[in-house]
């Protein structure tokens, strides 16, 4: 389609040049002044066609690699990365390789490729996000925090980046900063409100403020219940010695998983508060 259009354009130019020749200018003038411009345009058009075709081919190959990674065809994805030769997209290939080795759980190689990608494109967000995951898996929380900060510097209004930075601060025990960015995540209307509210509640438990923690857990279950947040809520009621409300949520926690270790621990503490010591011991020994 593009070639046909360009041929029509070239034919039009040639026809127009003949009109010019017939009307005004000498053959010598056209040869020396007009035809070089026309020839230059023709060469430029064909070069643009060639560049466009190459670009399409390059993008098609990148999509093939991405599709193979998505479908867990790791060997084929890596083979395509190795034969890919468009240097302008090398940062993307390095990121793909990092993802491949991350899937293979080779954290050292994945880290190396993500860093290579960033060295080429310092603000390329995908490898920065992936490095955060690598350092989370390696429990290098300080490094995770460093890259999480970079993401927010690139896009401070991205809700997921603010959540990631909040979580990184929490893992580094920077509870004040963690609270700041969890709050910002909620202000940005992040999708996973329940998890953010649960994490804030847990931080207040660490600060020995079970009443405030309880308020955040209750807010969190308005966005859905799961065994994590329900058992955290039970924990806050135990610390508050609020046995009445504890019993209200006890059955919900039991319905999720009565063998969940946090549930057993909470129930044992509840029984101890009711002076049912032997029953508590029996639960812990199960």
The pLDDT of residue 17 is 47
For 258, list phi and psi in degrees, rounded to 5. Answer: -75, -10
User: Alpha-carbon dihedral of residues 247, 252, 256, 257, nearest 10 degrees?
Assistant: 20
Can you say whether the dihedral through the CA atoms of 18, 20, 26, 30 is positive or negative? negative
pTM metric for this prediction:
0.76
**In the predicted model, what is the mean pLDDT of residues 205-226?**
96
pLDDT digits (tens, 9 = 90+) for 235-251: 999 999 999 999 999 98
What's the confidence (pLDDT) of residue 6?
45
What percentage of the chain carries pLDDT values higher than 70? 80
Give the pLDDT of residue 179: 97
pLDDT higher than 70, residue 14: no
Q: Tokens 């990365």 identify what position? A: 81
pLDDT, tens digit, for every residue of 59-74?
888 999 999 999 999 9
Confidence class for position 52, pLDDT limits 50, 70, 90? very low
Return the pLDDT at 200.
Answer: 97
* Residue 39: pLDDT over 90: no
**Mean pLDDT computed over 31-49:** 45
Query: What would the pLDDT profile of 16-32 be if each residue is shown by its tens digit?
Result: 444 444 444 455 554 55
Kindly report, residue by residue over 130-174, the tens digit of the pLDDT. 999 999 999 999 999 999 999 999 999 999 999 999 999 999 999
Q: Does pLDDT of 275 surpass 70?
A: yes
- The per-residue pLDDT for 56 is 54
From 50-54, 219-223, 244-248, the region with the lowest mean pLDDT: 50-54
Asked if residue 46 has pLDDT above 60, the reply is: no
Could you report the per-residue pLDDT of 80-109, keeping only the tens digit for each?
A: 999 998 899 999 999 999 999 999 999 999
3-state secondary structure the chain: CHHHHHHHHHHHHHHHHHHHHHHCCCHHHHHHHHHHHHHHHHHHHHHHHHHHHHHHHHHHHHHHHHHHHHCCCHHHHHHHHHHCCCHHHHHHHHHHHHHHHHHCCCHHHHHHHHHHHHHHCCCCHHHHHHHHHHHHHCCCHHHHHHHHHHHHHHCCCCHHHHHHHHHHHHHCCCHHHHHHHHHHHHHCCCCCHHHHHHHHHHHHHHCCCHHHHHHHHHHHHCCCCCHHHHHHHHHHHHHCCCHHHHHHHHHHHHHHHCCCHHHHHHHHHHHHHCCCHHHHHHHHHC
- Please give the structure tokens belonging to residue 102: 């991350």
Q: What is the mean pLDDT of residues 184-204?
A: 97
Residue 15 predicted with pLDDT over 90: no
> Mind listing the pLDDT tens digit for each residue in 191-200?
999 999 999 9
Rounded Cα gap, residues 269 and 186, in angstroms: 33
């Amino acid at each position: 389609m593009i070639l046909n259009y360009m041929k029509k354009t070239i034919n039009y130019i040639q026809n127009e040049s003949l009109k010019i020749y017939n009307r005004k200018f000498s053959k010598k003038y056209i040869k020396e002044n007009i035809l070089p411009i026309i020839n230059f345009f023709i060469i430029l058009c064909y070069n643009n066609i060639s560049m466009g075709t190459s670009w399409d081919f390059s993008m098609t190959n990148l999509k093939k690699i991405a599709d193979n990674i998505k479908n867990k065809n790791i060997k084929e994805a890596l083979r395509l990365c190795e034969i890919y030769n468009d240097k302008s997209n090398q940062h993307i290939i390095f990121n793909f390789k990092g993802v491949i080795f991350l899937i293979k759980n080779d954290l050292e190689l994945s880290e190396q490729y993500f860093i290579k990608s960033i060295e080429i494109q310092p603000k390329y967000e995908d490898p920065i996000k992936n490095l955060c995951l690598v350092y989370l898996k390696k429990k290098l929380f300080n490094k995770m925090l460093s890259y999480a900060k970079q993401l927010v510097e690139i896009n401070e209004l991205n809700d997921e980046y603010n959540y990631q930075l909040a979580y990184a601060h929490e893992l580094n025990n920077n509870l004040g900063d963690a609270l700041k960015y969890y709050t910002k995540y909620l202000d940005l209307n992040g999708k996973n409100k329940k998890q953010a509210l649960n994490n804030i509640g847990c931080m207040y438990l660490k600060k020995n403020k079970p009443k405030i923690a309880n308020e955040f857990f209750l807010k969190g279950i308005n966005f859905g219940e799961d065994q994590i947040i329900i058992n955290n809520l039970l924990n806050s009621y135990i610390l508050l010695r609020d046995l009445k409300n504890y019993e209200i949520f006890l059955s919900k926690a039991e319905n999720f998983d009565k063998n969940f270790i946090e549930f057993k621990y909470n129930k044992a503490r509840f029984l101890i508060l009711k002076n049912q010591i032997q029953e508590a011991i029996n639960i812990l020994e199960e």
